[in-house]
């Protein structure tokens, strides 16, 4: 896939892939640029809302988590069970620890839409595969504060301090994005069928977007033909800066980071969409299953689905850097 190097870089050329030479929008990653004035206010506010202290608390919570999970995980790997007692303990701390962690970013309460679906999930735990749309790192802890689950992540996540080890203890699975990962279908199937293991959460778009469009789902979550619990996460910046962007945008990582820790009040809403039970046909046809679930997301968002993925995002970021240098 080729990027056209026009000034705005809002298009991507799919010539190499399908020979059509048609251009697609790269809306999923276009940043809503902050003005210099806004950046100034953000840094100023970050200091006055005790941002640095909240960052330290954030690190402390994860250090405690890390020790806890490391002890819990002794003798356990991603495919054997923690046992009843340890599972309960892990679930409790995962919920509480993540709550504390997101509180450092100003989320004190998670508004749950369709609460009865959440209550049912807690009671029966039938859907072992959780999917959600994805726009920032905080999505992970928002989900963890409701459901103790491992995540499917790219292999580089494994080595991120704290985060990697915690996901490993939560029986997360890592994929090497430069390779075909067909082996993962068996692992997902195991997690979908064995209730003794922790559930597995997947962001089917495969990467973050900026609250403007959906990427074509990847087949992994649907490959097992198992029931799925779909989630929808929404953010709203609160106080004092309502212009803070809590969605992933391709811009300086420091700005993204500061955005998370600047406001003392932010809002988040998690919708527990109706759990999906695949039909007999969908069970043997993951592509069909995928399309039908993707449609449900399209219905609530009214967004166009882009046939783009993680690699396109990396390319897009590289091109953005080049353009910046040349200007």
H/E run at residue 201: strand 200-202
Q: Which of residues 44-63 bind ligand NAG (CB under 6 A)?
A: none
249 makes contact with ligand NAG (CB under 6 A): no
**Given the rule CB under 6 A, which of 71-79, 132-140, 215-223, 309-317 is the region that contacts ligand NAG?**
132-140
Region for 37 from its dihedrals, namely left if φ exceeds 0, alpha if ψ lies in -120 to 50, beta otherwise: alpha
Strands 110-113 and 23-25: unpaired
234 makes contact with ligand NAG (CB under 6 A): yes
b (16+ CB within 10 A) / e for 244-262: bbbbbbbbeeebbebbbbb
Nearest residue (CB) to ligand NAG, 3 versus 235 = 235
Spatial distance between the Cα atoms of 267 and 153, rounded to a whole number of angstroms: 26
Number of residues that bind ligand NAG (CB under 6 A): 14
Q: Which of residues 283-322 bind ligand NAG (CB under 6 A)?
A: 300-301
CA-derived radius of gyration, the chain: 20
Tell me which of 202, 232, 256, 273 binds ligand NAG, using CB under 6 A: 232
Strands 2-3 and 11-13: antiparallel
Q: Which of residues 62-91 bind ligand NAG (CB under 6 A)?
A: none
Q: How far is the CB of 267 from ligand NAG (least distance, A)?
A: 9
Nearest residue (CB) to ligand NAG, 187 versus 212 = 212
Return the closest-CA partner of residue 311 out of 32, 12, 22, 21.
Answer: 12
Q: How far is the CB of 246 from ligand NAG (least distance, A)?
A: 6
Residues lying near ligand NAG in the complex (CB under 6 A) are found at 133-135, 139, 211, 232-236, 246-247, 300-301
């Amino acid at each position: 896939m080729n990027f056209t190097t026009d000034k705005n870089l809002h298009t991507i050329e799919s010539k190499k892939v399908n020979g059509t030479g048609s251009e697609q929008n790269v809306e999923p990653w276009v940043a809503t640029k902050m003005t210099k004035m806004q950046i100034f206010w953000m840094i100023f506010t970050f200091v006055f809302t005790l941002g640095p202290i909240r960052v330290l608390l954030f690190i402390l919570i994860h250090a405690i988590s890390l020790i806890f999970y490391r002890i819990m995980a002794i003798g356990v790997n991603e495919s054997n069970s923690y046992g009843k007692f340890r599972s309960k303990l892990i679930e409790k701390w995962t919920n509480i620890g993540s709550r504390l962690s997101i509180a450092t970013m100003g989320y004190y309460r998670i508004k749950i839409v369709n609460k009865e679906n959440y209550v049912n999930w807690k009671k029966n735990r039938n859907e072992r595969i959780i999917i959600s749309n994805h726009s920032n790192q905080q999505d992970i802890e928002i989900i963890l504060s409701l459901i103790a689950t491992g995540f499917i992540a790219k292999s580089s996540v494994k080595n991120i301090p704290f985060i990697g080890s915690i996901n490993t203890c939560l029986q997360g699975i890592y994929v090497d994005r430069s390779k075909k990962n067909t082996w993962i279908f068996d692992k997902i199937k195991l997690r979908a069928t064995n209730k003794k293991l922790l559930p597995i959460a997947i962001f089917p778009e495969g990467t973050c977007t900026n609250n403007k469009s959906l990427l074509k789902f990847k087949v992994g979550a649907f490959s097992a033909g198992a029931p799925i619990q779909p989630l929808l996460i929404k953010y709203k910046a609160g106080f004092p800066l309502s212009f803070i962007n809590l969605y992933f945008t391709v811009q300086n990582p420091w700005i993204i980071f500061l955005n998370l820790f600047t406001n003392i009040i932010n809002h988040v809403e998690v919708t527990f969409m109706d759990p999906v039970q695949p039909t007999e046909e969908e069970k043997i046809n993951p592509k069909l299953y995928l399309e039908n679930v993707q449609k449900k997301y399209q219905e609530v968002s009214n967004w166009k689905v882009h046939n783009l993925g993680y690699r396109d995002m990396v390319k897009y970021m590289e091109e953005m850097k080049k353009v910046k240098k040349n200007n």
